[in-house]
Structure 1
């Protein structure tokens, strides 16, 4: 079976490796970089920047405590160059892994033509085709929007902007606000509606008061015009660079006349990642489900298995998610409507690796768990701590497998740890 995959990001690459291992003849086509947006412009770039931010903030705290005498100076251009070198090295590893699995990598712009994909003048016939072309920044119809930056421009900046006005209200807006405010920018977040509207209000308040302290967050603001020196808003004029964090647009144009698209431009798929065209599958950001790299990988695997006639379905229940700030903000929601038997417990973050030196200023994080006291079901979890991004996915798996709060009565944690989740679960196991 010949399978052609367009897009070398997390979804496409995972699909290529899975299909190749299932004995398909796989061609993976990528127009620019293996690893996609996540590696070269998104998640990994934010991780690289945030590591430097954490070092900078820790150094500032150590200076206040008299531990060090001088705070190091950050050279942003060197940071950007270093991130590009590191992501380039990671890309080489990904290429090697992909080829080792048996998939062929072809670099170039793909065009779909009558059962073939053409790249650089060469045809690649397929029995099954997977579209995994990702997404790009959504550019709102604002006069002068061409003067604004997006995440694609971050590593090309020569220095940290003195003033940065971020248009948006979601995860991307929060993450870049945390990074640039910590690097010295005066940051405003201009939200058309509410800031981080899908996050638990108590967690959101902690983010505003502790992790984005100093960031001016303005809600219910319309941006009327963007100019090189700033923007005109419904709250008045703002000076400085404008950064768009206004969401994503699926790169679905390549197959728009071959498959059914949704109202927001994403390729419509079923739970097997099949499109309306029986020979075409789609996965990742281009389908517009959950913009999340692990989800994209799993969608790619599901698509590859079904293309190889191995039945597999995608499960979007209990997906752990996170925000990359000084401390990771991680959360899990069962989607179950809150009942009168649901009980909330909360605790300040623990002292331990990554938070020890913040005990004196109280900046150790915050964790909250909701549970149904009658059934013992864990319904919602939100955690802000150095360990939260590691802890939450395992908890999600356990909840999926039917674990109740009572199953944590004899739970033994590793120590030292900044994970406060086990403390709350241990309490709930006795209280329930």
Structure 2
């Protein structure tokens, strides 16, 4: 097909973080760009993921802050929480962000279609309206979607997509799953006064995170009233006549709940996308396989973000989208470095980490040293909470290079970002030790570990 016959230089399927960044940068390089989005512009993170969820985390923190205020001399009478007010405030901000993302596309003269698009061939997409559009290059950035387990009555459960739209605050919340999404919502609902039960098919929470931090979070959240049933997947969800549901299990007593939230993982959103029409190879979980430049097995089609076989994080998708646009349209081939990508779980308290966990470091390096600081945050002293923070530093014994930093405690994600720069730069434990502490702060523990 001759180049002049294409409708667009680039057609992007999916207007989430990665797709919008790729569209904007490609357009700035002079490409004629269009993007199709079947839901709302902004994607998972902005519309139904990390941004509104973090706002709920902030909202739920006030329950603890207001209780603690009395110990610092503040006396607040007749405290009352209004779920609909918080929910609607969060949703208004989602609307604001969607408008901002849409304006970004418009300001870069990117055409956008508010309908589903599928791949019709190596250089063609088909819109839900039936229109077929051609493009020199196609980028798939459709993200991921919550996985629903195959259990009886699962249609009565909700996922993280629907949780932001609950008509009222439930008194009893049952959460299946113990990954980061499950633990974040468990903390939110627990702080807002709901009775929270977490059930999981394995005996672990936050699989893949550092063992010490996982154990500490389990201990603290149990102390805050969250109940756990491990080795206990839901077998059946049954609605009750008077409202609410009963969840049944194989070997445990049933649990009554007003809301059943399923948070058992996310699957790349490739179902029905027409990948077979371009011979695009996928992995066993439906993830699109790409090379270091984000190219699929079809030469003219690329993919970025959660739909691929790499790290499912918004900042990663943004970097991939930018690198793709620079490579294909900016005459500047670039790849993304996936080493030492920081991560955080906005549980209560939050945890964060970068680099290798202790177990990973022992497996890869053998001889390592582990430094830690187990402390009671100053903020908790007047509050009469005995919860303790924990910071860990994993160090290669031979070179002294810091291989990983992991922490749990108030503001851990904010502190970890600066530590991630040091780990990424390959600094040593001696470099940390040579840095003067910032006192009094929790962050000073990073340079005081012995």
Mapped pair 1:80 → 2:87: yes
CA distance in 2, matches of 1:311, 1:344: 39
Question: Which residue pairs with 1:310 in the alignment?
Answer: 332
1:67 to partner: Cα distance: 2.9
Question: Which residue pairs with 2:261 in the alignment?
Answer: 243
Bigger mean CA offset, 102-111 vs 285-294: 102-111
Question: Which residue pairs with 1:31 in the alignment?
Answer: 38
Mapped pair 1:116 → 2:135: no
CA contact (8 A) 2:33 2:110 kept: yes
CA distance in 2, matches of 1:381, 1:71: 42
CA contact (8 A) 1:3 1:27 kept: yes
Task: For residues 237-290 of structure 1, give each alpha carbon's deviation from its aligned partner in whole angstroms, at most 9, with x where no partner exists.
Answer: 111132100101211121331311110011111121111110000111111422
CA distance in 2, matches of 1:349, 1:233: 39
Mapped pair 1:377 → 2:401: yes
* Aligned-partner SS, 1:345: strand
Mapped pair 1:301 → 2:322: yes
Question: Which residue pairs with 1:256 in the alignment?
Answer: 275
Question: Which residue pairs with 2:295 in the alignment?
Answer: 274
Question: Which residue pairs with 2:236 in the alignment?
Answer: 225
CA contact (8 A) 2:145 2:267 kept: yes
Bigger mean CA offset, 387-396 vs 273-282: 387-396
- From the superposition, tell whether residues 192 and 277 of structure 1 become closer, same or farther in structure 2 (CA, over 3 Å): same
Question: Which residue pairs with 2:205 in the alignment?
Answer: 195
1:86 to partner: Cα distance: 0.8
1:197 to partner: Cα distance: 2.3
Mapped pair 1:169 → 2:178: yes
CA distance in 2, matches of 1:378, 1:29: 43
1:350 to partner: Cα distance: 7.1
- From the superposition, tell whether residues 94 and 150 of structure 1 become closer, same or farther in structure 2 (CA, over 3 Å): same
CA distance in 2, matches of 1:71, 1:215: 26
CA contact (8 A) 1:349 1:384 kept: no
- From the superposition, tell whether residues 414 and 13 of structure 1 become closer, same or farther in structure 2 (CA, over 3 Å): farther
- From the superposition, tell whether residues 124 and 408 of structure 1 become closer, same or farther in structure 2 (CA, over 3 Å): same
- Which of 130, 152, 158 is matched with 1:143 structurally? 152
Task: For residues 191-231 of structure 1, give each alpha carbon's deviation from its aligned partner in whole angstroms, at most 9, with x where no partner exists.
Answer: 10122222222211221222452111121113211112121
CA contact (8 A) 1:16 1:103 kept: yes
Provide TM-score, normalisation by structure 1. 0.91
* Aligned-partner SS, 1:260: coil
1:170 to partner: Cα distance: 0.7
* Aligned-partner SS, 1:281: strand
Question: Which residue pairs with 1:341 in the alignment?
Answer: 367
Task: For residues 359-383 of structure 1, give each alpha carbon's deviation from its aligned partner in whole angstroms, at most 9, with x where no partner exists.
Answer: 7434462211111232111122111
Mapped pair 1:47 → 2:54: yes
1:172 to partner: Cα distance: 0.8
Provide TM-score, normalisation by structure 2. 0.87
- From the superposition, tell whether residues 71 and 79 of structure 1 become closer, same or farther in structure 2 (CA, over 3 Å): same
CA distance in 2, matches of 1:237, 1:65: 42
- From the superposition, tell whether residues 243 and 401 of structure 1 become closer, same or farther in structure 2 (CA, over 3 Å): same
1:105 to partner: Cα distance: 2.7
CA distance in 1, matches of 2:310, 2:269: 13
Number of positions where the alignment pairs a residue of Structure 1 with one of Structure 2: 424
CA distance in 2, matches of 1:358, 1:209: 21
* Aligned-partner SS, 1:343: strand
CA distance in 2, matches of 1:252, 1:317: 26
CA distance in 2, matches of 1:39, 1:175: 16
CA distance in 2, matches of 1:236, 1:222: 12
1:27 to partner: Cα distance: 1.2
